Structure 1
Amino acid sequence: MNISVKKIGVIGLGLIGGSIARALKRSDKNYIIKAWDKDKKNLEQGFEEKVIDEYIFSIKEGFFECDVIFLCIPVFAMKEILDELLISISPNCILTDVGSTKSDVVALINEMKVKNPFIGGHPLAGSEKSGFAASRANLFENAYYCLTPTENTDDEILKKLRDIVTDLGAIPIDMTPSEHDRVTAAISHVPHVIAASLVNLIDELDSPDNVMKTISAGGFKDLTRIASASPGLWAGICLSNREKILDTLLSFREGLKRFENDLESRNRKSIEEFFASAREIRNALSDGKNIFQKTYAITVDVDDRPGIIALIATALANKNINIKNIGILNSRETEEGALEIQFESEESRLQGLETLSRLGYQAKLKE
């Protein structure tokens, strides 16, 4: 099967939909992009900025030529949109969404007996801002983008969608809808619940003069930053992923209960092990270890000081060596740190190693 993708539809030209359109327009594939949004101003702005080629007022008629359509809308609005969309689109048009839960969407697609190929999608990127005005072409750069094929998904269709995700600048990851919802419950949804719970707890425990809120410092604010997210959005997400979130909360409560028991019994050894395990796992999160695709990385011994990343990045840019990812890797317990740099290919990695070594940096390949 030879699948050609030229015309792409975007339904919902907000932060995610607008960023998809911008990123695809920035690529070298000459995509033609059509868009619909309930806010006409978003469409007019997108057209004026040449982010989209055409804006659509009628979902029933406007997307009939599209090869792929991104459904950048909430799950609760999906059925109404699909009822109109499916009237006229080609039976070969690929449909994909961008929501943070997948099982409900797949269930809806099956319930509606949608004949078009559908693959759920979830870009693990976003912003505290919302709307088309906040969209940007680099929103997905080096971000993971989950695709959730089912047992009925055609391999060629999945490959084509993976190619488009790569054109966004993102890193595609395949997993089942159920696994996706289990993973996002643990790494995203429950952390939002915990952050909101901590903020509400401080409000309940605070004195009339608000001393807790007044002196809450960086650590507390960093930990609870995500509690500032949209209440309506997160209520919808939690209800959509209800079962997986409840399972994860049960595991979380069991862990808290074990800690509570250790604290009551003054079990210092277990308490230290609790924090040591968390520290080790947390530090490993920034190790750059990637089970989904091969990485081409080097490490550089540097002082952890302001400007060092920019200095090294500039040196590589001067040699036209493109960096995929870069960051300081250490636990902040020593003054010395290791800089890890990831490249797009083995050739770029070797060029980067040679360039930095010649400049006097202690660089080595990371296996």
Structure 2
Amino acid sequence: MSVRFKRILIIGTGLIGGSLCLNIKKEHPQITVVGMDANRHSLEGALEAHGIDEIGTDFASEVVKADVLLLCTPVKQTMAFLSQLNDIKLVKPLLVSDVGSTKGEIMTLVESLVNEQLRFVGGHPMAGSHKSGFIAADVNLFENAYYVLTPSSTVTAETVEHLQDLLKGTRGKFVEMTAVEHDQITGVVSHLPHIIASALVRHNQALVEQLPMTKKLAAGGFRDITRIASSDPAMWTDILLSNQEVLISEMKDWQGQMSDILNWLESADRQTIFNFFASAKNSRDALPQRKSGAIPAFNDLFVQVPDHPGEIAKVTGILAGANVSLINLKIIENREDIFGTLQLTFKNQQDVKIAYDLLTQDGNYTCYEK
């Protein structure tokens, strides 16, 4: 079906946009992909990697020539580009989609646009990384991840199918829902957890100033459960303000739950506290494993290594010999025995499995995932 598309304009060639470029060019090499981005390094990287064929210079002139427009920018920027479309005289239908983390504001704006040539299908691929720029782009980023679509009221089912066909190289799982449903779900499973993680880090920092040892002891589990607090602050400010109504309601509910727990603790209500933890454990254990969701999964492998000279080089050498690329390596410092722990981060779970097999087969390393 996608042979109907000859030219695509992608605004934003960072992690998400760059990965989509790679997917589209791999699946549909005959399509011309034009990229635009304020970050010249991302554009040049996408061009060099053959993720895009051309670099665009003017939004209005490129839009007129395009069959598809993919807006891979933060929500507020996406809305600014959408507003411009109202004033551009299109000579043919233009399929437009985005990758915004919230959908309510975007879909409300889209429904107000009067350009009859626009065919808008909102999108949100539920995958990502805490890295940014085209250098972090990965053709496998969206594999088996949920890719949410929120069609506008004027598009047909056929238009949605055309978009899915264009993006089939992502190997994602397409699901349709309304903007309201999307924002409610992501508010609970993604946005609120980011707020809580950031609040925990801020709370911890206050104690660090009083008791400096806190920082070292937080290097283990605390650092893991608050890892999402390392996300881009500008992006998350944008997300919170874009999903304001949902998050105000959810945070009030959360405050109510914290008040309940405080009351149980003050009254030393052992059974209710036990039931609270037991219920949470059962719910947590029932969650799908190794599935991509609203919060990006961490493709980490933890490796215990003896405290001998050259051990880190040996580990990285084993991986390099099998052409397995690391995107991050950290030495966890809160161990006091003869073994240290390396936290190795990979692009995907396939590389994690390969690394696990290589290092455990070597015989000198104990590996585990969290």
For residues 153 and 111 of structure 2, the distance between their equivalents in structure 1, rounded to whole angstroms, comes to 13
2:103–2:179 Cα contact (<8 Å) kept = yes
Q: Which moved more, 1:46-55 or 1:29-38?
A: 29-38
Residue matched to 1:285: 287
Residue matched to 1:35: 35
Shift, 1:134, TM fit:
1.4
Residue identity matched to 2:53: D
1:150–1:177 Cα contact (<8 Å) kept = no
For residues 2 and 220 of structure 1, the distance between their equivalents in structure 2, rounded to whole angstroms, comes to 47
After superposition, the C-alpha distances for 1:297-321 in whole angstroms (9 at most, x for unaligned) are xxxxxxxxx9xxxxxxxxxxxxxxx
Residue matched to 1:106: 107
Q: 1:257 aligns with which of 256, 259, 263?
A: 259
Residue matched to 1:95: 96
After superposition, the C-alpha distances for 1:57-93 in whole angstroms (9 at most, x for unaligned) are 0111123332221101122223443355552544421
Where 2:119 maps in the other structure, the secondary structure is coil
For residues 47 and 127 of structure 1, the distance between their equivalents in structure 2, rounded to whole angstroms, comes to 21
For residues 80 and 105 of structure 1, the distance between their equivalents in structure 2, rounded to whole angstroms, comes to 10
For residues 42 and 2 of structure 2, the distance between their equivalents in structure 1, rounded to whole angstroms, comes to 34
Residue identity matched to 1:61: S
Residue matched to 2:242: 240
Residue matched to 2:351: none
Q: Does 1:198 align with 2:200?
A: yes
Residue identity matched to 2:286: A
Q: 1:140 aligns with which of 142, 148, 151?
A: 142
Shift, 1:50, TM fit:
1.5
Residue correspondence of structure 1 range 148-167 to structure 2 within 5 A: 148-167=150-169
Residue correspondence of structure 1 range 163-178 to structure 2 within 5 A: 163-178=165-180
- The CA RMSD over aligned residues, in Å, is 2.5
For residues 203 and 163 of structure 1, the distance between their equivalents in structure 2, rounded to whole angstroms, comes to 48
| Change over 3 Å in CA distance of 1:28–1:78 after alignment to 2 | closer
| Change over 3 Å in CA distance of 1:193–1:10 after alignment to 2 | same
After superposition, the C-alpha distances for 1:275-304 in whole angstroms (9 at most, x for unaligned) are 1111111111125899xxxxxxxxxxxxxx
Where 2:148 maps in the other structure, the secondary structure is strand
Residue identity matched to 2:95: I
Where 1:82 maps in the other structure, the secondary structure is helix
2:35–2:52 Cα contact (<8 Å) kept = yes
Q: What stretches of structure 1 of length at least 5 have no aligned partner?
A: 291-305, 307-367
Residue matched to 1:184: 186
Q: What stretches of structure 2 of length at least 5 have no aligned partner?
A: 293-302, 304-370
Residue matched to 2:323: none
For residues 288 and 195 of structure 1, the distance between their equivalents in structure 2, rounded to whole angstroms, comes to 21
Shift, 1:245, TM fit:
0.8
For residues 288 and 72 of structure 1, the distance between their equivalents in structure 2, rounded to whole angstroms, comes to 26
